[in-house]
């Protein structure tokens, strides 16, 4: 009996793989239409609805999107974007990841990284009180379009340079079971 419960528990933690469809990702007044609408659900006791998508978008190229919706009784145990950067760097075995460009507008952070001194990748981070959306923008096209919606004179210095291409599909939510990225807020927890 204990073995069966253990197997079920481990299956839930590692799979978290309930597939469903998401046709677009809305971030404030911006709406990203997806080419691949197959999302993989991720689970943690502190999340209410979270998923990731690997999209080879017709307009923007390869994107990795992770959406994290924290329960109102939970909080991040640090800075979400830093957690995402660290997990990306660690799991991709990146030796050197340098910020070469960063813009902050409203609830968006747009960052361009130089990876191992040879290729570039963009990260779009959108946040609200309880949600975080991370988009790895391999081509830089989506970042370029979003930044231009805030600054019409923006010209990317890095979009036409060699781009990082190694696939990524690790989830902060799934890995939070091991790294404690978020936890219950003890002040709002009502115990026995």
Model confidence at 102: pLDDT above 90: yes
Tokens of 30: 């911006």
Residue-range domain boundaries for the chain = 2-184
Tokens of 183: 């936890």
Model confidence at 115: pLDDT above 70: yes
* Nearest Cα residue to 43 out of 16, 68, 72: 16
| pTM of the full structure | 0.82
Q: What single DSSP character describes residue 77?
A: S
The pLDDT tens digits of the residues spanning 158-172 come to 999 999 999 998 999
Residues 13-25 have a mean pLDDT of: 47
Classify residue 138 as exposed, middle or buried by CB count within 10 Å of its CB (0-12, 13-18, 19+). Answer: buried
Mean pLDDT value across the chain: 85
* Residue 75: CB atoms within 10 Å: 17
Model confidence at 133: pLDDT above 70: yes
- Give helix 172-179 / helix 2-15 axis angle, nearest 10°: 130
CB 42 within 8 A of CB 51: yes
């Amino acid at each position: 009996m204990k073995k069966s419960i253990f197997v079920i528990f481990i299956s839930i933690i590692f799979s978290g793989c309930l597939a469903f469809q998401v046709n677009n990702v809305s971030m404030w007044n911006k709406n990203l239409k997806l080419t691949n609408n197959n999302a993989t659900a991720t689970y943690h006791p502190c999340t209410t609805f979270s998923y990731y998508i690997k999209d080879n978008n017709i307009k923007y190229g390869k994107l990795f999107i992770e959406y994290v919706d924290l329960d109102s009784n939970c909080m991040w145990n640090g800075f979400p974007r830093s957690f995402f950067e660290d997990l990306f760097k660690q799991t991709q075995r990146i030796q050197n990841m340098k910020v070469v460009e960063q813009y902050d507008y409203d609830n968006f952070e747009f960052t361009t990284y130089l990876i191992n001194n040879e290729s570039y990748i963009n990260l779009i981070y959108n946040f609200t009180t309880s949600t975080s959306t991370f988009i790895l923008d391999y081509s830089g096209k989506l970042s370029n379009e979003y930044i231009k919606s805030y600054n019409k004179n923006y010209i990317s210095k890095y979009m036409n340079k060699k781009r990082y291409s190694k696939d990524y599909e690790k989830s902060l939510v799934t890995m939070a079971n091991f790294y404690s990225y978020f936890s219950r807020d003890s002040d709002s927890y009502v115990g026995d």
